[in-house]
């Protein structure tokens, strides 16, 4: 029947590109948000989950009743759980304790078995979520470890989908692509396609203060002294992901927790975009390099997920206060919304 779908997986990809208006006032050029929350699992990770799992099926790596194991900050796990339900697989995920309760609740609601691991340990520590996921996969019969950080199919999924969508939606006029890098698959997969179309497109990677990626990009060295705790989920790393193609990145911009949190709330209050913490980080990065844009610039910012997963984090006044992020610094951005009991 016209206008119907066989299952939710057919809704993955083809997300909208929406102009940013008020949050970029005073900046030269045009700015658009690639709203990945319009995927059925509410994040860009739906793309890699479907692509990697279907690729594994084609190779005969998944048998009926198989268990899919992954390391995740929440979004990839949810996407894998969603795909697993439709395709009849089980799902196990290892997450860091930096992951907020609402994301864990999402994972459990989708039937995933969740293992909570400490965030602030080295990547090779047996307690890290990387090592825990590896161990779970090794000890689970008939299982597949997605390994999004080092799986080239992560990057390829965005080369095949996100990049072509952005090129078509901007009619080839895109001049800048800006996005956060965790695994790096989203930004650099899209960038690979776009650079093939026009090598002059500038690709801006966003990294977190406390992560090693920017310095590695600039020097080729991992500096352990840069590693420190930070709050933005799904951004930055204490290791170098194999899915991250540094060759297509032109520049890295570091952002910190506080301005990124304000920017996330600002997107909701000024643009009506209920998006996640990394979306605010990308906006913060664009503002940081505002003087590099001109009137002919057309910048696309990748907004990876939905704000509903951050209600006890950046959208919580209590959490903001607990981090020392003073509400007055929102410069009048308080929503003025109230709840009155009758």
Question: Which residues are designated catalytic?
Answer: 45
DSSP assignment, residue 6? S
Question: Number of helices and strands (H, E) in the chain?
Answer: 11, 10
CA-based Rg of the chain, rounded to a whole angstrom?
19
DSSP assignment, residue 330? G
Q: Using an 8 Å Cβ cutoff, are 304 and 44 in contact?
A: yes
Residue 92: Cβ within 10 Å count: 23
DSSP codes, 261-324: HHHHHHIIIII---B-HHHHHHHHHHHHTGGG--TT-EEEEEE-BBGGGGTTTTT-HHHHHHTT
Q: Using an 8 Å Cβ cutoff, are 27 and 39 in contact?
A: no
Buried b (16+ CB within 10 A) or exposed e, 226-250: bbeebbbbbbbbbbbbbbbbbebbe
């Amino acid at each position: 029947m016209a206008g119907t779908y066989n299952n939710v997986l057919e809704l993955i990809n083809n997300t909208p590109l929406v102009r940013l208006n008020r949050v970029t006032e005073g900046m030269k050029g045009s700015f658009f948000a690639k709203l990945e929350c319009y995927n059925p699992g509410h994040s860009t990770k739906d793309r890699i989950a479907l692509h990697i799992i279907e690729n594994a099926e084609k190779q005969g790596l998944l048998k009926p009743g198989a268990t899919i194991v992954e390391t995740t900050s929440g979004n990839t796990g949810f996407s894998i759980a969603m795909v697993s339900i439709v395709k009849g697989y089980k799902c196990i995920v290892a997450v860091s304790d930096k992951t907020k309760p609402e994301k864990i609740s999402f994972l459990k609601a989708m039937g995933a078995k969740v293992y909570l691991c400490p965030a602030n340990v080295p990547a090779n520590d047996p307690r890290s979520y990387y090592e825990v996921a590896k161990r779970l996969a090794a000890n689970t019969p008939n299982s597949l470890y997605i390994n999004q950080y080092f799986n080239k199919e992560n990057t390829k999924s965005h080369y095949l989908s996100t990049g072509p969508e952005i090129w078509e939606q901007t009619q080839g006029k895109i001049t800048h692509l800006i996005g956060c890098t965790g695994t790096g698959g989203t930004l650099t997969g899209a960038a690979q396609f776009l650079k093939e179309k026009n090598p002059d497109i500038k690709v801006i990677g966003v990294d977190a203060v406390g992560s090693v990626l920017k310095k590695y990009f600039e020097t080729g060295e991992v500096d352990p002294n840069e590693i420190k705790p930070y709050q933005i989920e799904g951004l930055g790393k204490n290791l170098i992901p194999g899915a991250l193609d540094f060759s297509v990145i032109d520049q890295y911009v570091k952002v910190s927790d506080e301005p990124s949190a304000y920017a996330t709330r600002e997107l909701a209050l000024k643009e009506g975009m209920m998006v996640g913490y990394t979306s605010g980080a990308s906006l913060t990065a664009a503002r940081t390099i505002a003087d590099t844009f001109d009137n002919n610039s057309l910048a696309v910012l990748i907004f990876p997920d939905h704000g509903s997963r951050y209600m006890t984090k950046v959208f919580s006044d209590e959490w903001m206060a607990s981090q020392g992020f003073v509400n007055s610094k929102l410069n009048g951005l308080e929503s003025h919304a109230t709840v009155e009991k009758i």
